[in-house]
Amino acid sequence: MNDEHRTRVLEEARKHHQSVRGSGEFVPGTTEIWPSGAVLDEDDRAALVEAALDLRIAAGPLSKRFESEFARLLKRRKAHLTNSGSSANLLALTAYTSPQLGERRLLPGDEVITVAAGF
């Protein structure tokens, strides 16, 4: 796909977003705040379409950039995106078994208390 086609597709994605979501401007007392679901702005939608055009179905440059910026915001060395809460829980539990934690690490037979609604 040449640059002209890519630009046109991304412009159409932005127009589509505006047609279904409006300006996206938050108006206190008027704008609905949903308790769940995707909360995307025009740039997010364009980034999703761009990832699809590049056939990026796994982590790519945008997710790496997000991880870096998020870690910097939290004043941490690293941050990792996961595809689900279950994967995040597995990653966290695995980290707690690291030998780098020394005597504080989890060992076979240790018990972990977690939420009842974990999947």
Rounded to an integer, the average pLDDT of 59-84 is: 93
Kindly state whether residue 109 falls inside one of the protein's structural domains: yes
Same structural domain, 5 and 59: yes
- pLDDT category of residue 76 using cuts at 50, 70 and 90: very high
Q: Which pLDDT does position 23 carry in this prediction?
A: 65
Statement to judge: residues 53 and 95 lie in one domain? no
**Average pLDDT, integer, range 25-36:** 84
pLDDT confidence tier of residue 16, bands split at 50, 70 and 90: very high
pLDDT tens for each residue of 83-100: 888 899 899 999 999 999
Same domain, 86 and 68: no
Residue 37 has pLDDT above 80, yes or no: no
In whole angstroms, what is the distance from residue 47 CA to residue 10 CA? 8
Tokens, residue 19: 């047609």
Query: pLDDT band at residue 119, thresholds of 50, 70 and 90?
Result: low
The span from the CA of 70 to the CA of 73, in Å, is 5
Same domain, 68 and 106: no
Q: Please write down the long-range contacts of 13-17, taking CB distance under 8 Å and 24 or more positions apart.
A: 13/45, 13/46, 13/48, 13/49, 14/42, 14/45, 14/46, 16/45, 17/41, 17/42, 17/45, 17/46
Cα(78)–Cα(63) distance, integer angstroms: 13
| Number of compact structural domains in the chain | 2
